Structure formats: C-alpha cells, structure tokens
Amino acid sequence: MADRLLGVATPVAGHVMIHAVEKDGDISRMKHIETLELPSGERFTLAPGGMHLMLMGLQDKLSEGTTFPMTLNFENAGEIKIEVSVLGIAAEGPREVSE
Ligand SMILES: [Cu+2]
C-alpha cells in the first residue's frame, strides 16, 4: 500500500525537515519537501547526497556511537518509532540488514 511521510520529530532537535537534493550543473541544492510520497512495493532510501532528513536546532552535539529516538508520522501506518544510530561524518549509512 502506498503511504506518505507527513512529518518527523525527535527530542534531540527542534525541527526535522525532509530535504531532496537537486543538481544544477555542478551545484547541489537542498530543497524542502513537505510530505514524502512512498509508492507501493518500492524500497525508498534516505541517504547522504540524496533525499534525507535534516535535523534543525540540535539541542546538543550528537556523539558518534550513540543513538536517539525518532518518530516518523505516516498517513496510513501512523506513528512509527525508530532508534537512529549516530555514525561518523564520512559514513555512507548503516550496513545492509538482511531481511
Ligand atoms: Cu538538508
């Protein structure tokens, strides 16, 4: 079933924005997306350099190796709580988890 990500919240930041990255020649710009459409039956990946969540107004420095809670609010699935791992600055994402 298709779904839509309506909003994201975490106690570690004042505000979480959904950002897309648009290429304009050699320049990349971040574009604020209000809601994220998630087509049915497709895997959707948020990643550095692509669609991502931007934490604005961090309450404190995030330390590598720690985790923090995040709530994703979906139109159909409702609220989903996740734990986010803080990785190093050069990290490209967590290792693939086999299903
Ligand atoms: Cu951004």
Task: Quote the ligand 1 centre to 96 CA distance (angstroms).
Answer: 23
Residue 99 above 70 pLDDT? no
Between 68 and 96, whose confidence is greater? 68
Residue 97 above 70 pLDDT? no
Report every protein residue that has its C-beta within 5 angstroms of ion ligand 1.
Answer: 19, 30, 54
CATH number of the domain located at residue range(s) 3-85 in this protein: 2.60.40.1890
**SS in 3 state form for 49-63?**
CCCEEEEEEECCCCC
Task: Quote the ligand 1 centre to 14 CA distance (angstroms).
Answer: 15
- Which of 21-28's residues contact partners 24+ apart within 8 Å by CB, and which partners? 21/49, 21/50, 21/51, 21/52
**pLDDT given for residue 95 in this prediction:** 63
Residue 38 above 60 pLDDT? yes
Between 59 and 69, whose confidence is greater? 69
**pLDDT given for residue 36 in this prediction:** 95
| Residues found in the chain | 99
Residue 98 above 80 pLDDT? no
- Domain limits of the chain? 3-85
Give the pair of three-digit tokens for residue 73.
């609010």
